[in-house]
Amino acid sequence: RSHRLVHTFQVLDWNEKCRICTFEFVSGYGGYICINKTCGYKLHSYCATRREIWDGKDVQGEDEEISNSEDVASSASLVEVDGKSFRHFSHQHDLMRLCVNEDDAEDGRRCQACVLPIDFGSFLACKECDFALHDTCASLPRKLEHTLHRHPLILEVNKKEGFFICYICKRESCGFMYRCYQKESKFKMDATCASLTDPLYYGGHPHPMTL
C-alpha cells in the first residue's frame, strides 16, 4: 500500500470485509485502517500483523513526534511464531489462540492488559502459565496517539508500579498502561480507556457520541 495504516480499536463499518482474508469484521473489534479517509482500506489486527504481511517495524511519519521510547514503540506488540504460536512483548512464554467455551466462561480467567474477564470470543493464552489476553488487547499498539491526550503514549506492562490511577476514569488498575514520556508529564491511561474511540458508537444509542 502507498498509504500508511494506523490501528483503531473499533472498525465502524463492521460489515465490510478485510482486504487480506476477505472475512467481515466483527462489531466491537479493532483493526488497521488507512489514514486516507477516502481510501476505505481495512484489515483485521490479526491479518495485518501476520509475519508474511508485516515485518514488525512501524513506519514513522515525517511530522510524527519522536518519543523517548521510539525504539521500543516501533516494534510489534504481537508476533506470529509458527502459525499456531504467538509471542507478546509483555510475556516470556509463547501464546496460543483459544476460544471461550461454557466451561472457560466460569473459570475466572482475566485479561492481563485490561483486567476484565475473558468470557466470550477468542483470546491468547500461555502454554505454560495462566497468562491470558483478549485478542484486541494483545494487538494494542506499542505507541498510541489518542484524542484524550496531546502527546504520543507508550504501552507499558506495569510490573514495577503495581496499582496506578488512570488519569481519565480516575480508577485504580493493575493492568497495562499507556504512559506519556514528555518531560514532567505524569499522564497514565489504562487499557480500557485507551480503547475508547472518537466518535464512540454504543449499541444502546442510535447516534455517535464524542469524547
State the residue for C-alpha cell 521510539. Answer: 70
- Here the cell at position 78 is 504481537
**What SS3 state is found at 153?**
strand
Residue 9's pLDDT band (cuts 50, 70, 90): low
pTM equals 0.60
More confident call, 83 vs 185: 185
Residue 175's pLDDT band (cuts 50, 70, 90): very high
List the domain boundaries for the chain.
1-48, 61-66+141-211, 78-138
Residue-wise pLDDT for 135-162, tens only, equals 889 988 888 888 778 888 889 887 666 7
Q: Tell me, rounded to whole angstroms, the distance of Cα 67 from its chain centroid.
A: 19
Work out the average pLDDT over 54-61: 57
Q: How far apart (Å, rounded) are the C-alpha atoms in residues 79 and 190?
A: 23
Q: Is residue 95 scored above 90 in pLDDT?
A: yes
Residue 105: predicted pLDDT: 56
* DSSP annotation of 167: T
- Here the cell at position 84 is 499456531
Give me the CATH topology for the region 78-138: Wheat Germ Agglutinin (Isolectin 2); domain 1 (3.30.60)
Give the helix ranges, DSSP H, for the chain. Answer: 45-48, 70-73, 135-138, 191-194
More confident call, 69 vs 165: 165
Residue 15: predicted pLDDT: 65
Residue 131: predicted pLDDT: 92
**Residue 122 CB partners (closer than 8 Å, separation 6+):** 97, 98, 99, 100, 135
More confident call, 28 vs 157: 157
Work out the average pLDDT over 9-27: 70
Residue type, 209: M
Residue 1's pLDDT band (cuts 50, 70, 90): very low
Instruction: List the CATH code of the domain at 1-48.
Output: 3.30.60
Q: How far apart (Å, rounded) are the C-alpha atoms in residues 116 and 37?
A: 32
Q: How far apart (Å, rounded) are the C-alpha atoms in residues 35 and 69?
A: 23
Residue 162: predicted pLDDT: 75
Same fold flag, 1-48 and 78-138:
yes
Residue 149: predicted pLDDT: 82
Q: How far apart (Å, rounded) are the C-alpha atoms in residues 21 and 30?
A: 15
Q: How far apart (Å, rounded) are the C-alpha atoms in residues 6 and 143?
A: 11
Residue 66's pLDDT band (cuts 50, 70, 90): very low
DSSP letters spanning 17-69: B-TTT-PBPPTT--EEEESSTTT--EEEHHHHT-TTT--SBPPPPTTPPPPTT
Residue 167's pLDDT band (cuts 50, 70, 90): very high
Q: Please tell me which of 27-41, 65-79, 197-211 the model is most confident about, judged by mean pLDDT.
A: 27-41
Q: pLDDT averaged over the chain?
A: 76
Q: How far apart (Å, rounded) are the C-alpha atoms in residues 144 and 142?
A: 7
* DSSP annotation of 173: E
